[in-house]
C-alpha cells in the first residue's frame, strides 16, 4: 500500500491540504481541504489570524481521517518573512504582523544609514524588500522582543504548535535577510543591530528534517490520522521551485501566485554588482541550491481588482474578459511601491495611467488586460536581465502556481520574451512539499528524478512565441526608465 503524504500549503491568499501518493511511478494529488487566508487590521497593524489557519489544518486532517487515511506524513509551507514571537511560557505573545503592514515603509533607509546596503548584500545576497524580517524586527515592539524566548517563522511556528518541537528551516530563514551566505548562520552584526540574540532563533535545519509526531493533546481533541511531521522547504516559493518540472536546457521558473517570483536555480549564489544593482535575491533552495530570483507584485493586483468588483467575476471570467481586449493599451510599472497595499487598487491603477498621460482602463476587461499585459511585459524584461546577469539566454520559462491558468498571460509572455513557456502544475508548491517528504522517506531517490515524475504526472501546456514583440518590450523598457523611481 503506497504511503500517504499531505502538504499543508498556505499562501497569502489561500491555504490547502493536498494529499499525495506515489502509484506506479506517478504522483497522485487530491485536494482535501481549502480555505481563505488574508490579513486584517488589529491593535494598529495588519495581522494574520494564525489560530484560524491552525484550526483549518485540524479541520483538513479530520477530513483526511474520515476519508480512511489513518497514517500520514505531513509537511508545512507558507509565505515568507513573517514570524511569531513566543514567550518563556511557550505561548504566542501576539498575532503575527503581516509583511504588508506599513510599519517598515521607511526601515531600509533607517537601518542602512548605519549598516551599508553593500555590507548586507555581500553577507546575505538577499534582495532589499522593506518587509524583510530584518526590518520588521528592527521596528518590533522592544518590550515584546525582551519577553521573547523564541522567534519562529510562520511555518516553523505551525510545526511547533503541532509537535512541540521548534526549528528554523533554512529556505525561509534566508528570506529574513539575516542569514550569512558564508557562515550559514544569522549574521552577528545584523542581529546586534536589531537587538536580537542568536539563541532567540531555534537551530537551523535543512528541508527533509524529521520534526516529530503530532502531539498527543491534539489526538485527544480531534479525530486525526497518526501523523509524522517532516520539515520541508517551508518557504512556499522554495517548495514551488522543487515542484517545478524544470523543462529546458537553460530553464527558468515563474512561481505565479499572489507574488510572481521569476528566476533560476543556481548551485552557487550570485551576489555580485549586477545582481545587487537589479535587486536580485539568493534565497536558499532545497538540496544546497539557491533561488536566484526577483519578486514581482504578481496576481495580488488582480486579487484586489476582483474584490473591488465585489467578486462578481471569478478569476477565470476576468481572464476571459481580458482576452477580449487589445493588450498594451497602457504601460504600467507593476512593481511600483504604490501597488503594494493601496486603499483601492483599481483607483490606484487608473490614477497611475492618468498621471502618466495614458489611456485609463475602465471596464473589468480593460483593467484585467492592463494588469495581465503589463505583468507579461515585466516578466519578459526580468528574463532579459536574468540572462544578462547569468551570461546566458534563458531558453524556457516554467510557469507554475495559480497564474499558470491564465492562458493569455502565458502566451503574451512567450511572445514578448521570445522563449517557450511551459505552464503547470498550478499546485507546484504542494507538489514540491510532498516531494521533499518522499525523498526524506526514501520513496524517491532525488529531486532530479522527482522532476521527471512531476512532468509525467501533470500535463504541461506549451506556449511558443507567436511572431515578435521585441519592439513592444523595448518601448516598455524605455517607459520604465523614464518613470521608475530609483530602486532600493
Ligand X SMILES: C[C@H](O)[C@H](O)[C@@H](O)C(=O)CO
Catalytic residue among 9, 101, 236, 420: 236
Whether residue 123 contacts residue 73, with contact meaning beta carbons closer than 8 Å, is answered with: no
What x/- string results for residues 209 through 248 when contact with Mg ion is judged by CB under 5 A? Answer: ---------------------------x------------
Residue 461 binds to ligand ATP (criterion: CB under 6 A)? no
Is residue 12 annotated as involved in ligand binding? yes
Q: Which of these segments, 222-230, 262-270, 313-321, 355-363, binds ligand ATP (CB under 6 A)?
A: 313-321
Q: Are strands 226-231 and 71-78 parallel, antiparallel or unpaired?
A: parallel
145: burial class by Cβ within 10 Å (0-12, 13-18, 19+)? middle
Smallest gap, in angstroms, from Cβ of residue 237 to ligand X?
5
Instruction: State the cell numbers at 299.
Output: 496576481
**Spatial separation of the C-alpha atoms in residues 199 and 189, rounded to whole Å:** 15
- Residue 261's contacts (CB-CB under 8 Å, 6 or more residues apart) are 237, 240, 253, 254, 255, 291, 293, 294, 295, 296, 298
Residue 302 binds to ligand ATP (criterion: CB under 6 A)? yes
Is residue 235 annotated as involved in ligand binding? yes
Q: Which residue of 257, 269, 285, 387 would you call a contact of Mg ion, by CB under 5 A?
A: 257
Smallest gap, in angstroms, from Cβ of residue 11 to ligand ATP?
2
The DSSP call for residue 132 is: S
Active site residue 236: yes
Is residue 80 annotated as involved in ligand binding? yes
**Spatial separation of the C-alpha atoms in residues 173 and 283, rounded to whole Å:** 9
**Spatial separation of the C-alpha atoms in residues 391 and 470, rounded to whole Å:** 20
Is residue 358 annotated as involved in ligand binding? no
**Spatial separation of the C-alpha atoms in residues 155 and 176, rounded to whole Å:** 14
Q: Which of these segments, 146-154, 263-271, 398-406, 464-472, binds ligand ATP (CB under 6 A)?
A: 398-406
Q: How many CB atoms lie within 10 A of CB 318?
A: 23
Find the helix packing angle between 364-390 and 345-355, rounded to 10°. 70
Residue 74 binds to ligand ATP (criterion: CB under 6 A)? no
Residue 382 binds to ligand X (criterion: CB under 6 A)? no
Q: Which residue of 5, 6, 8, 11 would you call a contact of Mg ion, by CB under 5 A?
A: 11
What x/- string results for residues 247 through 276 when contact with ligand X is judged by CB under 6 A? Answer: ----------xxx-x---------------
**Spatial separation of the C-alpha atoms in residues 150 and 145, rounded to whole Å:** 9
Residue 237 binds to ligand X (criterion: CB under 6 A)? yes
Residue 285 binds to ligand X (criterion: CB under 6 A)? no
Active site positions, annotated: 236
Interface residues with Mg ion (CB under 5 A) are 11, 236, 257, 429
What residue numbers does the annotated binding site for substrate cover? 80, 235-237, 295
What residue numbers does the annotated binding site for ATP cover? 12-16, 258, 303, 402
Amino acid at each position: 500500500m503506497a504511503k500517504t503524504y499531505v502538504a499543508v500549503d498556505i499562501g497569502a491568499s489561500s491555504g490547502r491540504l493536498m494529499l499525495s501518493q506515489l502509484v506506479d511511478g506517478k504522483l497522485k494529488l487530491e485536494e482535501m481541504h481549502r480555505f481563505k487566508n488574508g490579513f486584517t487590521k488589529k491593535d494598529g497593524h495588519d495581522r494574520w489570524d494564525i489560530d484560524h489557519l491552525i484550526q483549518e489544518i485540524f479541520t483538513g486532517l479530520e477530513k483526511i481521517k474520515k476519508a480512511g487515511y489513518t497514517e500520514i506524513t505531513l509537511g508545512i509551507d507558507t509565505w515568507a518573512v513573517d514570524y511569531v514571537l513566543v514567550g518563556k511560557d511557550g505561548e504566542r505573545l501576539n498575532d503575527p504582523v503581516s509583511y504588508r503592514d506599513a510599519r517598515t515603509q521607511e526601515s531600509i533607509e533607517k537601518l542602512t544609514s548605519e549598516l551599508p546596503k553593500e555590507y548586507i548584500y555581500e553577507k546575505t545576497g538577499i534582495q532589499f524588500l522593506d518587509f524583510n524580517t530584518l526590518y520588521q524586527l528592527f521596528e518590533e515592539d522592544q518590550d515584546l522582543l525582551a519577553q521573547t524566548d523564541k522567534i519562529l517563522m510562520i511555518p516553523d511556528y505551525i510545526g511547533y504548535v503541532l509537535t512541540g518541537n521548534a526549528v528554523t528551516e533554512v529556505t525561509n530563514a534566508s528570506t529574513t535577510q539575516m542569514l550569512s551566505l558564508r557562515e550559514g548562520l544569522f549574521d552577528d552584526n545584523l542581529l546586534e543591530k536589531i537587538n536580537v540574540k542568536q539563541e532567540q532563533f531555534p537551530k537551523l535545519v535543512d528541508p527533509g528534517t524529521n520534526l516529530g509526531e503530532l502531539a498527543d493533546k491534539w489526538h485527544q481533541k480531534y479525530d486525526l490520522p497518526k501523523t509524522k511531521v517532516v520539515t520541508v522547504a517551508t518557504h512556499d516559493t522554495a517548495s514551488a521551485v522543487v515542484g517545478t518540472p524544470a523543462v529546458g536546457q537553460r530553464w527558468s521558473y515563474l512561481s505565479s501566485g499572489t507574488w510572481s517570483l521569476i528566476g533560476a536555480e543556481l548551485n552557487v549564489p550570485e551576489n555580485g554588482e549586477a545582481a545587487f544593482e537589479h535587486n536580485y535575491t539568493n534565497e536558499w533552495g532545497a538540496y544546497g541550491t539557491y533561488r536566484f530570483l526577483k519578486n514581482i507584485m504578481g496576481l495580488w493586483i488582480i486579487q484586489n481588482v476582483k474584490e473591488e468588483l465585489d467578486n462578481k467575476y471569478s478569476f477565470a471570467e476576468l481572464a476571459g474578459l481580458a482576452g477580449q481586449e487589445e493588450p498594451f493599451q497602457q504601460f504600467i510599472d507593476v512593481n511600483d511601491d504604490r501597488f503594494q497595499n493601496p486603499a483601492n487598487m483599481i483607483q490606484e491603477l487608473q490614477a497611475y495611467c492618468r498621471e502618466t498621460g495614458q489611456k485609463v482602463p475602465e471596464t473589468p476587461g480593460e483593467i484585467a488586460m492592463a494588469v495581465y499585459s503589463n505583468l507579461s511585459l515585466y516578466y519578459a524584461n526580468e528574463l532579459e536581465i536574468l540572462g544578462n546577469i547569468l551570461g546566458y539566454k534563458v531558453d524556457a520559462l516554467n510557469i507554475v502556481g495559480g497564474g499558470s491558468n491564465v492562458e493569455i498571460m502565458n502566451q503574451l509572455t512567450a511572445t514578448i520574451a521570445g522563449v517557450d513557456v511551459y505552464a503547470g502544475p498550478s499546485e507546484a508548491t504542494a507538489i514540491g512539499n510532498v516531494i521533499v517528504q518522499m525523498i526524506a522517506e526514501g520513496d524517491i531517490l532525488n529531486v532530479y528524478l522527482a522532476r521527471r515524475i512531476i512532468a509525467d504526472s501533470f500535463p504541461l501546456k506549451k506556449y511558443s512565441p507567436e511572431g515578435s514583440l521585441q519592439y513592444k518590450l523595448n518601448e516598455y523598457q524605455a517607459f520604465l526608465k523614464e518613470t521608475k523611481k530609483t530602486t532600493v
